[in-house]
Every structure is written in C-alpha cells, then in structure tokens.
C-alpha cells in the first residue's frame, strides 16, 4: 500500500518540481539509481512500467527505498489500464502516471486517494482529466505538442491547472528556465538525466551531481521569477 498520503505526494511534487523518470530490468541497478537521486535531493521518483516483470523490480524498489531512502515518494509510470494501476498501488505506488488519460484509472486511483497524473495533449483532455479528479496533468510528449509556449497558452484560460511536462526536458539552465517560466508545476526528466553510458558504467555520483545541479537551477529560477 502507498506509504504517503495524497496531500504529501502533491506537496512534494510541487515543492521539488522535478521527477526523475527511469526504467531498468535489473532491480539492483534501479535501486542504485534511486539512491543516487535521493542523495542529490530528489524526493519523488517515477519508475516506468516498460519491461517484462517490471512489477517485480518495482516491488524490490519499494522495499529498498523504505529502508534506504525513507523520504522518497515512488510512483509508477506508463500505466494505461486500471488493473495495472491497481497492481502497482498494491505494491506501494504513491502516484500513477500514464501516457494518456483513462477515466477508469482515475476512478480506481480516486478510490484509494492516490494521485493519477494522465498524459494530455489538448485543453479538452486537461479539462476532462480535471473533472475526473486529476490534480496534476502531464503534457506528453511535451516537446512535440508545442513546448513551453503550449504550457503558457494553456495557463491563460486555465490558470488553476497544475502541469507536469515530460519529453524534451533537459538538465540545463536554458531548458529548465523556459519550462519554469511557462508555468509548469513540475518536470519529468528521463534519458537526459540518465545517460546510457553513465548507467552502464555505474557512475552513480554523476547522477547525484546532475540531480543536485538541476534542483539548484529550478530553485534559483523560482526564487527570481
């Protein structure tokens, strides 16, 4: 079952403003990546449901973080149906993310008071997700549907919207500044935060440094915006 309540999860997503997005078939590798991110100041992490037996890796990750990273909020991504959402929530997922909006997933997450963050690509989809109880909507793929200007234009008629962007997010001052100034609530960062060569060489310190620098950039932008 989820370790953190819905309010804690939402507050953490808003306060830290960054969610690493990662998948690996090896549980030990996944654990070390989460630990490296935790050391770098990350407090919300999305493990994606993208490979065979991902549920087994996630179960191991939940047990590991409870002991080694007690303040880390773990979520599951790439969820497209309610049965998968239920499975991962039973394993301990604190939030559920999907590439698109499925109202049936919203129902099952609402029943357990677990935040559901669906992927949306239009104002209509965002509105429908809000009506189904989704506090945060994910713009995906963010770089393809219009980038920061798309977020900015959404926030004009829907200023109450809380937007997470995934896709085309990079750990650089220029990139993060554009997204933060557009009005995002948080950014999801995957491959740019976890270069393949870094993972293969098990250079966990570099991941920690990338997380630290990204969070520092975000904090500085927010303070001065």
Task: Please state which of the ranges 39-43, 136-140, 221-225 shows the lowest mean pLDDT.
Answer: 221-225
* Burial class for 160, CB neighbours closer than 10 Å (0-12, 13-18, 19+): exposed
Q: How confident is the model at residue 212 (pLDDT cuts 50, 70, 90)?
A: very high
Quote the pLDDT of residue 136: 98
Q: Which residues pair with 137 in a beta bridge?
A: 163
Quote the pLDDT of residue 193: 95
pLDDT tens digits for range 64-81: 999 999 999 999 999 999
Instruction: Check: CB of residue 62 under 8 Å from CB of residue 90.
Output: no
Strands 186-189 and 44-48: unpaired
Quote the pLDDT of residue 1: 62
Quote the pLDDT of residue 2: 67
pLDDT tens digits for range 15-31: 999 999 999 999 999 99
pLDDT tens digits for range 131-175: 999 999 999 889 888 899 999 999 999 999 999 999 899 999 999
What would you measure as the largest C-alpha separation in the chain, in angstroms? Answer: 47
pLDDT tens digits for range 91-142: 999 999 999 999 999 999 999 999 999 999 999 999 999 999 999 999 988 9
Q: How confident is the model at residue 3 (pLDDT cuts 50, 70, 90)?
A: confident
Backbone angles phi, psi at 18, to 5 degrees: -140, 130
Torsion of CA 28, 34, 37, 38, to 10 degrees: -120
Q: How far apart are CA 223 and CA 194, in angstroms?
A: 27
Instruction: Check: CB of residue 53 under 8 Å from CB of residue 26.
Output: no
Q: How far apart are CA 119 and CA 137, in angstroms?
A: 6
Token code pair at residue 142: 């963010």
Check pLDDT > 80 for residue 199.
Answer: yes
């Amino acid at each position: 079952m989820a370790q953190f309540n819905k309010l804690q999860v939402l507050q953490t997503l808003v306060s830290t403003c960054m969610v690493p997005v990662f998948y690996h078939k090896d549980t030990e590798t996944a654990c070390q990546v989460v630990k490296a991110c935790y050391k770098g100041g990350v407090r919300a992490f999305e493990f994606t449901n993208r490979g065979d037996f991902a549920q087994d890796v996630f179960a191991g990750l939940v047990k590991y973080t409870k002991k080694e990273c007690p303040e880390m909020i773990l979520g599951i991504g790439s969820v497209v149906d309610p049965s998968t959402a239920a499975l991962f929530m039973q394993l301990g997922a604190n939030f559920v993310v999907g590439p698109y909006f499925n109202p049936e997933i919203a129902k099952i997450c609402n029943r357990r008071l677990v935040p559901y963050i669906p992927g949306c690509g239009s104002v209509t989809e965002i509105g429908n997700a809000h009506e189904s109880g989704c506090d945060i909507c994910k713009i995906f793929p963010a770089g393809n549907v219009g980038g920061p200007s798309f977020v900015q234009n959404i926030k004009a008629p829907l200023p109450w919207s809380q937007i997470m962007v995934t896709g085309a997010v990079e750990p650089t001052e220029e990139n993060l500044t554009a997204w933060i100034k557009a009005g995002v609530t948080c950014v999801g960062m995957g491959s740019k935060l976890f270069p393949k060569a870094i993972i293969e060489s098990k250079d966990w310190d570099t991941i920690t440094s990338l997380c630290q620098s990204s969070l520092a950039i975000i904090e500085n932008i927010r303070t001065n915006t």
